[in-house]
Amino acid sequence: MSFPTATIDAGALRHNLAAVRRFAPASKVLAVIKANAYGHGIVPVAHALDSADGFGVARIGEGMALRAGGVTRPIVLLEGVFSTDELQQAATANFELVVHSLAQVEQLEQAGVSHRFDVWLKLNTGMNRLGVTPAEFDEVRRRLQACAAVGRIRLMTHLFGAEEAGGVGTRQQIGDFLAMTAGMNLDRSVANSAGLIAWPEARTEWVRPGLMLYGISPIPGQDADQLGLRPAMTLTTQLIAVRRVTRGEGVGYNAIWRAPKDSLIGIAAIGYGDGYARNVRSGAPVLVDGHPATVAGRVSMDMTAIDVTDVPNAKIGDSVVLWGEGVPADRVATYADTIAYELVCGIAQRVARVWK
């Protein structure tokens, strides 16, 4: 087997979808698989999650890849379309559209398509990225209802900090959205992963989980385990060299790690050229042959040094787990000043993806 390898566990994906349904049993699930399913592989992930009620992607190209890969379930373009050309393609591929701006409403009104799009009208409740304003909301909804190119209308908003425990802003967003959409008898969608876990009132007709489907905790301080999630991606490689260094010797570029005592260093065949981020710091957790060990010094393009002093009988060929089973990606992320989302999305082309 070649290495590094990202092993993707279809059983874990399905297990995590079942976990979503336990949190939000009354909600339909729009499984978010943008950015190549957070680095896991968009088409095979869609097939593994074929019991989801629909799929969310960011760009039309992602939706096209899904249709080309034989995915027939509803697909929602989470940013809608940006030109009449894309609108035409979206009609042909039967995509549902998020409508978040007046420009997109006008596009639909002027569309020369004989297709009726199911649309998700997005209300801005404070993220201030996409979405019509509360002041525009009623007029836009009426225009969509009157538009010949529009079929079913659903309503949505997006939370900006659902992972922050007791976040006042989140409570306000959910409250405002539910109040503004009350009594309209239209399906509503509020929650991403953190929202559907931490905010029961955000479990409306539809939930939109991404990260948790991949078995990663979206909530700081809560383990994936505790939430009943299993990591879908395990990133592994092997040791290609093992060497002794004496106390005080440096390891790797700029010798930013110096041996605090006589030590044993394993060189793992993985680096930032594979998506193991360069800003992962010394001390980041890995497993070597199943034993805990830590990164020592700068990650380079193709290699990373590991302090294997405490690993019994460490040797060339030993397996190294960078994240996944036994090493939660969100823990690694804290050693890289980033979030697990960015780590898994960043897996490079040259890393083999193997399905189990």
Ligand X SMILES: *Cc1c(COP(=O)(O)O)cnc(C)c1O
Site for ligand X, rule CB under 6 A: 32, 34, 78, 158, 192-194, 208-211, 218
Of 78 and 81, CB closest to ligand X:
78
What tokens were used for 283? 């001390």
341 is catalytic: no
Of 32 and 202, CB closest to ligand X:
32
- By beta carbon distance, the residue nearest ligand X is 210
Helix/strand/coil for 306: strand
Burial class (CB in 10 A: 0-12, 13-18, 19+), 82: middle
Of 202 and 267, CB closest to ligand X:
202
Q: Helical H runs in the chain?
A: 10-23, 34-38, 42-48, 60-68, 84-92, 102-109, 134-146, 168-181, 193-198, 329-334, 340-345
Report the sign of the C-alpha dihedral through residues 57, 15, 53, 26, in that order.
negative
| CA angle, residues 21, 24, 27, in degrees to nearest 5 | 90
Of 229 and 235, CB closest to ligand X:
229
Taking the C-alpha atoms of residue 147 and residue 151, their distance in angstroms, rounded to an integer, is: 8
Q: Shortest gap between Cβ of 199 and ligand X (angstroms)?
A: 12
Instruction: Identify the residue whose tokens are 């095979």.
Output: 44
In the chain, the amino acid numbered 234 is: T
Q: Shortest gap between Cβ of 112 and ligand X (angstroms)?
A: 28
CB 63 within 8 A of CB 73: no
Of 32 and 295, CB closest to ligand X:
32
Q: Which of 322, 126, 173 minimizes the C-alpha distance to 234? A: 322
Taking the C-alpha atoms of residue 142 and residue 154, their distance in angstroms, rounded to an integer, is: 13
What tokens were used for 37? 């399913």
Q: Shortest gap between Cβ of 191 and ligand X (angstroms)?
A: 8
What tokens were used for 256? 């930013």
34 is catalytic: yes
CB 242 within 8 A of CB 265: yes
Q: Shortest gap between Cβ of 56 and ligand X (angstroms)?
A: 6
**Among 38, 253, 272, 276, the one annotated catalytic:** 253
Q: Shortest gap between Cβ of 207 and ligand X (angstroms)?
A: 9
Of 66 and 265, CB closest to ligand X:
66
**Among 34, 214, 276, 341, the one annotated catalytic:** 34
Give Dmax (Cα) for the chain: 76
As annotated, the active-site residues are 34, 253
